[in-house]
Amino acid sequence: MMKAARIGRFYTFAMLVASSPAFAQSVDRAEVEKIVREYILQNPEIIEDALTELETRAQATQAQARSQAILAEADALLRSGDDVILGNPDGDVTLVEFFDFNCGYCKRAAPDVKALVAEDSKLRIVLKDFPILGPGSVEAAKVALAVKRLEGNAKARDFHVRLMEMQGQINAGRALDLAEDMGLDRKRISEEMATPAIEAIISTNLALAQRLGLTGTPSFIAGDQIIQGAVGKKPLADAIETARQK
């Protein structure tokens, strides 16, 4: 409020200068610039206030643009048959997570996601493969997507949870080892992960993330809000509740 008041006072000052009789009779640009310069030198906090206000407006504009983008991409975000679903598939609110199997912050956020599902029986979570951390991430995503296409959501859900719990770098070999340990057909999964359909899903997810302005993992979407990073359970729960109320 104080910053806005200071900017308002400067605006009032400028208007008074511009409307004064002397100004009306003879506009001396150099004199006006001198007066403004002296005022700013005497009140330097105005510059900081103006920059802060500019940043606030830019953030508000960006948030509005993202909200509009989320609305426009609702089908791709919420109703793709290629994504793994956690929680209640018929839930009254959906949390979307863009993740990478090699993302340490995604692994840190995984227990929060699990807790949200356990505590909220009406929550639906959509998991979107967003492999941006190198070739191993792309390989792991392809294996996970192949499991989903061949085995359905229940197996894919368990596979996702177990693969996310793995420590160290994950690639095709480690992901396929896990699939085999779970009793799945390694050869079939290897063949499926190499199909154009799997490549297309990843390309679609990457393009969707770009349209939404997502640059890192994990990125969560609840309603028209985007939450980036491993922020903890409470901010996610608050965003979910806000989306539910809307």
Interatomic CA distance for residues 158 and 164, integer angstroms: 10
Phi, psi of 221 (to 5 degrees): -130, 125
Structural domain range at position 186: 75-245
Same domain? For 130 and 233 the reply is yes
Interatomic CA distance for residues 146 and 190, integer angstroms: 8
Residue in the block written with tokens 């994990």: 218
Same domain? For 117 and 188 the reply is yes
Same domain? For 24 and 146 the reply is no
Same domain? For 61 and 95 the reply is no
User: What is the model's pTM?
Assistant: 0.76
- Domain boundary among the residues 72, 96, 123 is at 72
Same domain? For 11 and 80 the reply is no
Same domain? For 156 and 58 the reply is no
Angle, CA 228 vertex, CA 225 and CA 232 arms, to 5°: 100
Task: Please give the radius of gyration of the chain, using alpha carbons only, rounded to the nearest integer.
Answer: 26
The confidence band for 39, taking pLDDT boundaries of 50, 70 and 90, is confident
Same domain? For 232 and 137 the reply is yes
Same domain? For 126 and 205 the reply is yes
Same domain? For 88 and 184 the reply is yes
Would you say residue 6 has pLDDT above 70?
Answer: no
Would you say residue 11 has pLDDT above 60?
Answer: no
Would you say residue 37 has pLDDT above 90?
Answer: no
- Domain boundary among the residues 19, 45, 72 is at 72
What residues pair up with 128 in beta bridges, in sequence order?
Answer: 98
What residues pair up with 219 in beta bridges, in sequence order?
Answer: 98, 228
Mean pLDDT of 47-55: 74
- Domain boundary among the residues 45, 72, 99 is at 72
Q: Structural domain tally of the chain?
A: 2
Alpha helix stretches (DSSP H) within the chain: 2-19, 21-25, 29-42, 45-72, 74-78, 104-119, 135-151, 153-165, 172-181, 186-193, 196-212, 233-245
**Both structure tokens of 200:** 């297309």
Same domain? For 45 and 81 the reply is no
Same domain? For 103 and 146 the reply is yes
Same domain? For 44 and 98 the reply is no
> What pLDDT does 136 receive?
98
pLDDT, tens digit, for every residue of 56-89?
676 665 666 677 889 999 999 999 999 999 999 9
